[in-house]
Chains A and B, each alone.
Chain A
Amino acid sequence: MEKEAILELRNIRKVFDKNVALDSVSFSLYPGEIHGLLGGNGAGKTTLMNVLYGLYRRDDGDINFHGQKLNIQGPKDAITHGIGMVHQHFLQIGSYTVLENIVLGTDVSHPVTMKLSAEAQKIIDLGNRFRLPVDPNAVVDTLPVGTRQKVEILKALYRGVEVLILDEPTTNLTPQEVDDLFESLRVIVNEGLSIVFITHKLREVLHVCDRITVLREGRNITSLTRAEASEEIFVRAMVGDQMKIEGSVYFSHGSMANTAVDESATPALEMHDVGLKTKEGISRLAGLNFQIRQGELFGVAGVAGNGQRELAECVTGVVIPTEGKILMKGQDVTDVPVCELLKDWISYIPEDRLHDGFLPKANVAQNLILGYHRQEPYCEGSFIKWDTVYDKVRGYIGEYKIKTNGPEDPGGNLSGGNIQRVMIARAFSMNSHLMVAHNPTRGLDIPSMDFVYNKMLERKETGASTLLISEDLDELLLICDRIAVLYRGQIVGILARKDFDKYVIGRLMSGIQAEETADLRAAS
């Protein structure tokens, strides 16, 4: 490389309590490149960039920018120096217009009258230049996620950044929106800016990045240009030496053999015109009709907030649907509450693990029996058999690799990934005809994701069914037998495995009923 690095991070170290999040990580960025920062969850990607952006103080190491030592105290400092970051969760005010959101916190030309026409023109120019067309007067709440992301990028460009950091920018985008985004990124770097692209998705990095740095467990493993390396090198760098890639579902490109589903048996779940309205009469779910066969892995795709959570809660009995009927193995369970369904019928991995699934003030053992505390073998009469519980829990801690000091460790001591492992261990610990898993692999590293996929595929062999609701389309394409797409509380299409096409699903996710999908539905 003959070019001079614009930005260099040297031997960055960051420790949280006793956890070393970053251990002497170095990273350099050249002008005009898209630099992929690749790694599984907990690898330290976001932490490293938060250090650069000034959200965290580093414990050790140097940051050099344009050859000068930089001491960034906070995001404001970072922006003045020309470093901008787009977070995974957008920081926008929903009731404001695009224009108002973008100029918020900057000096405007007419601060008294708030006449913003000059600023609006600047935004339109930026949008044209970088192929990020957005109407400055649109209210942010009314925009789809893909456009809101453009607003977020424009916000950084408006502030004149030279380096743009994008944290997992493709989460929640449809495949079409992802393609658009990549195109804009290319335009941006062609104009001389540099981009850091944080992701855990290998295929995306290979698609769009010029250079790639792989992090694992808080260390940087390798930095290579796209041309220098093969996919295998990155896979190995991401997962380390312990994991067997050959047997892995995650890296299988969805080619693993799917056992046939018995079509003649009574369906594990039947939804008949199920609908859900809030007290105010707003419809959350409407006219849901589908069946899940015994032994089937049924996926639900969709942009977050289109009724996924309501669907999960209707099926599990957490809320009772206001319309329609739900049958499990032919039995009407529409009005059966969750405490009854947890006996043999269902198991549940809720999406929002912190609010809906976890007891931070209770210990690990108490967390692992939640919902099953009135069942064998955990209780006898009115008493809980703690000896049995602790024995079982020690087994789960080992099997599901939960990092904890033991069954009596307070839940609050666990990290996000380990809390997710508790959710998974609990759901898999008891037999169920139907597992409802909502974003089950969020926050897990690659070997753990692989473990979950294998566990789900194992269920098929015993004839147990799974309803997998996920925002990660790749995950659904990888393991599901069929995928339904949820849009504004309605199912707009169901595709069988042979018809899987991520662009077709992407169109359905954004509510476009294309002709070919209509054909598909007519055919099935």
Chain B
Amino acid sequence: MTIVRKLVPYVIAIIASFAAAGIFIALTGANVFQAYETILFTSFRTPNGFVQTLLKFIPLTLQALAFTIPLTAGKFNMGGEGQMIVGAIAASVVGILGADLPAVILLPLVVLAGVAAGAIWGFIPAWLLYKFNINEILTSMLLNFVSFQIIDLVATGSLRDPVAGHPTTVQIGQGGFLPMLIKNPPLNAGLILALLVAAGVYLYTTRTTGGYELVATGANPRAAAVFGINVKRMFVFSIVLAGAIAGLSGVIEVAGVQHRLIVGLQHNFLVLGVIIALISRGNNLAVPFVAFFIAILEIGASAMQRTMNVPIEMVFIVEALVLLFVLLSDVFRRR
């Protein structure tokens, strides 16, 4: 009963946002119902569409978790993209340099390198916060721009693939590829990793003493400190863990999907991750479901652009409106 009641505002928000966005689609001169049909059902029409949706779902889930974990402790990680990029860079550099190593050694190295790099990228703002009380929103956000420069440097440097038209490195060694769950259309084992991480985060925050301390810190840091919780350590830990998870999303892009480092692999993942996290209201259990819904919209929107010439940005309007209406439903519930 309560679950149904919780879902009602979401359903209303989705319907309302589609209705509102329909006005904009109609203004572009396209058929509104056909556009929505494309957005909603592309993912389920062909096996390829479904696999594409899952491939989008993986980084979206991980990016959203990289935002919700610090949010649980009351902190904002705006550096998910940067952490993803450095994770991808580390994974590809290790994958290229160790190209001759067998899979049993190379694959774990690739994954570990990417996760560690993301964690370090999260540790920088966390440490600045711990030591000097510098606002983590600013520092984590600015580190994204640093990572954009590093990826340019790596992809155009000695590891560059001279044949490719776009800044790209050469392929990583075969041993660094994530195993495939399905060969054609290609679906990699990153899906399992993402689901395991999502389940682990949920169990951690709801069942363990550490997770309890994270929740207590976010609920009222002063009271948590008075009752013996080291809140500054919780801040650091939450942002480092978020960085590691964002780093993992970079690893999966490289070792699972592209098998090389491509400039621009982060496509708006930060903004989408934040939107998913906020629509979920920070609830880690809801994150994968919301992420799947947003993945459907994203895949459907690119199809809409191809077949109907409706700009892909239209789906951003839908996503933003869903978020707005969900947040509005809070206001109404309080009345």
Contact = CB atoms under 8 A, between A and B. Distances in A.
Please determine whether chains A and B interact with each other in the same assembly.
yes
Interface of A: 313, 316, 318, 337-342, 348, 350, 355-362, 366, 369-371, 373-374, 379, 382-384, 386, 411
B268 to A, nearest CB: 30
A371 B223 CA distance: 10
Interface in B195-236: 207-210, 212-213, 215-216, 218-220, 222-230
B207 A342 contact: no
A357 B220 CA distance: 9
Contacts of A374: 209
Given A360-B219, A362-B219, 8 more contacts: A318-B226, A342-B228, A348-B226, A348-B227, A356-B222, A356-B226, A359-B224, A361-B219
Contacts of A361: 218-220
A145 B226 CA distance: 28
26 contacts: A313-B226, A337-B228, A338-B227, A338-B228, A342-B228, A355-B220, A356-B222, A356-B226, A360-B219, A361-B218, A361-B219, A361-B220, A362-B216, A362-B219, A366-B212, A366-B215, A370-B223, A371-B228, A373-B212, A373-B213, A374-B209, A379-B209, A382-B208, A383-B207, A383-B209, A384-B209
Contact of B212 (A337, A350, A360, A384): A384
Nearest to A382: B208
Contacts of A316: 226
B209 A373 contact: yes
A356 B223 contact: yes
A370 B225 CA distance: 10
Contacts of B213: 373
Nearest to B74: A361
A339 B228 contact: yes
A382 B229 contact: no
Interface of B: 207-210, 212-213, 215-216, 218-220, 222-230
B222 to A, nearest CB: 5
Contacts of A348: 226-227
A152 to B, nearest CB: 30
A386 B212 CA distance: 11
A367 to B, nearest CB: 9
Nearest to B204: A382
Given A338-B227, A359-B223, A386 B216 contact: no
A7 B185 CA distance: 83
Nearest to B211: A384
B227 A342 contact: yes
A70 B218 CA distance: 47
B227 A371 contact: yes
A313 B208 CA distance: 28
Nearest to A375: B209
Name the residue among A357, A373, A411 with the largest chain B CB count within 10 angstroms.
Answer: A373
B222 A355 contact: yes
Given A383-B207, A386-B207, A355 B223 contact: yes
Contacts of A362: 215-216, 219
B220 A339 contact: no
Contacts of A358: 220, 223
B229 to A, nearest CB: 7
A362 B208 CA distance: 15
Contacts of B223: 350, 355-359, 370
Contacts of B212: 366, 369, 373, 384
A359 B216 contact: yes
A181 to B, nearest CB: 35
A359 B224 CA distance: 8
Nearest to B334: A17
A338 B208 CA distance: 21
Contacts of B227: 338-339, 342, 348, 357, 370-371
